[in-house]
Structure 1
Amino acid sequence: MSTLIPQQLVAAQQSSLETLFGLTSKVFEGFEKLVALNLQISKAALAENQETLTKAISGGNAGELLALQASLSQPAVEKVVAYGRQVHEIVSGVQSEISAAAAAQGQQFQREAQGFVENLTKNAPAGSESAIAAWNSAFSTANTVYESANKAAKQFVSKVSTVQ
């Protein structure tokens, strides 16, 4: 075997670690956005509740209180819908970045595995044709499984996104 194989393994491991840390960073960025959104919503809700309670206390009769309560229901629904939309945008953004990175990583793995099998085939000793055929069969099967899983995952994500 050539000394290039250990170098390739180190490079592949380093690439995988960089991808992992990149994805972890993206997840934390999404988490930070969600926390910031929740803090913003909490502050606004606190201020609105204070204003509403002040109006309710200062209102002298039950009619004004009922009118105040009725006037708050529609904006509350709109705020909940807007909040849900913002959460969905944040989560979708992180999800799409992770999906893209996973697809790129899967394609890179396929290329590296194919290169490994080709290198193995070139450097195989005489009489190892059956072992090489087994490697090629295993690699072909792994590619087929990967393609099927990738297709199923994309369909699942598409259906989940459509439902939301």
Structure 2
Amino acid sequence: MNLLTPEQTTATQKANLDTLFGLTNKAFEGFEKLVQLNLEAAKSTLAEIQDNAQKALSVKDPQELLALQASAMQPFTEKVLSYGRRVYEIASSTQAEFAKFAEARYEAQSHRVQTLVDDIAKNAPTGSEAAFAVMQSAIAAANTAYETVQKTTQQAVEIAESNINAAVTTASKAARHDVEQTSRAARK
């Protein structure tokens, strides 16, 4: 007994293909953003290395060299932290796109299953109500489990984001403190 018509099978295959290509495009968009970020970081780093090398060659005494190194550390640390934040943002936004696709597919599939069960229940023989009640209960339980997982995942993402922001703030403050101490030591 085939429950799907050829038109429904074709529509399902088309939807699956659209989903595959949609997700693939989203993955490539995220990859492109990471490549662009890495190219920008490489260009910027190369320019900074060249600039710092030129400055180091013009230094006349060790104190001046220590001060130069100390002054270069703060921007470097900030850039590393900024890079990490941007990588996280790219990964997070790509993951969010995948989650939207998954949620839409789940909702559509859930609706199809519910419609199928309802259609079968209408044509079911008398006495099969208990079996359909069990199916309805299973569908409701699956939906509840899915919603719980969604909420838990969202909470985990929010906690991770909060922890990353706290770590970046702490690292930035520590780097500033270290640079200030090194600068003071170089002046002595």
- TM above 0.5, one fold? yes
Aligned to 1:109: 109
Secondary structure, counterpart of 2:124 in structure 1: coil
In structure 2, what is the Cα distance between the partners aligned to 1:147 and 1:105? 14
User: How do residues 1-80 of structure 1 correspond to structure 2 at under 5 angstroms?
Assistant: 5-80=5-80
In structure 2, what is the Cα distance between the partners aligned to 1:69 and 1:79? 16
Aligned to 2:177: none
User: How do residues 101-140 of structure 1 correspond to structure 2 at under 5 angstroms?
Assistant: 101-140=101-140
In structure 1, what is the Cα distance between the partners aligned to 2:2 and 2:125? 14
Secondary structure, counterpart of 2:96 in structure 1: helix
The more displaced of 115-124 and 139-148 is: 139-148
Compute the RMSD of aligned alpha carbons. Answer: 2.3
The more displaced of 106-115 and 6-15 is: 6-15
In structure 2, what is the Cα distance between the partners aligned to 1:23 and 1:77? 35
In structure 1, what is the Cα distance between the partners aligned to 2:97 and 2:128? 43
Give the gaps of 5 or more residues in structure 2. 165-188
Give the gaps of 5 or more residues in structure 1. none
Secondary structure, counterpart of 2:75 in structure 1: helix
Q: TM-score, normalised by structure 2?
A: 0.75
Label 1:13 to 1:152 Cα distance change in 2 as closer, same or farther (>3 A).
farther
Q: TM-score, normalised by structure 1?
A: 0.84
What code does the residue aligned with 1:56 have? Answer: A
Aligned to 1:89: 89
Greater relative CO (CA pairs within 8 A, separation 6+): 2
What's the offset of the Cα at 1:126?
A: 4.3
What code does the residue aligned with 1:138 have? Answer: A
The more displaced of 9-18 and 63-72 is: 9-18
Aligned to 2:151: 151
What code does the residue aligned with 2:86 have? Answer: Q
What code does the residue aligned with 1:64 have? Answer: E
What code does the residue aligned with 2:102 have? Answer: A
Aligned residues: 164
Task: Kindly provide the CA deviation profile for residues 36-64 of structure 1, in whole angstroms up to 9, marking residues without a partner as x.
Answer: 11111111111211221222123232232
What's the offset of the Cα at 1:3?
A: 7.1
